[in-house]
Amino acid sequence: MFEVPGIGNPFHDFSAWAMLKALQELPLFEIPSIDAKAEMDAWIVNIKKSDGL
């Protein structure tokens, strides 16, 4: 078991442990990468569409 000298078990706080456990159980997801120019171009296209240009 992991123990910090002078403190003991760092997960003695059940609510903190439960929160970390809940985060670990979230499904993994990937954010698609996009370069800055492509993101700017997409933003411009969306602005033009919303303004009716």
Alpha-carbon distance values, 21 to 8, 16, 34, 52 (Å)? 19, 9, 31, 48
Write down the pLDDT at residue 41: 94
The model carries a pTM of 0.36
Q: Enumerate residues 6+ apart whose C-beta is below 8 A from 11.
A: 17, 20
Taking 70 as the pLDDT cut, the residues of the chain under it are: 1-11
| Residue span of the structural domain in which 14 resides | 1-53
Please tell me the total count of domains within the chain. Answer: 1
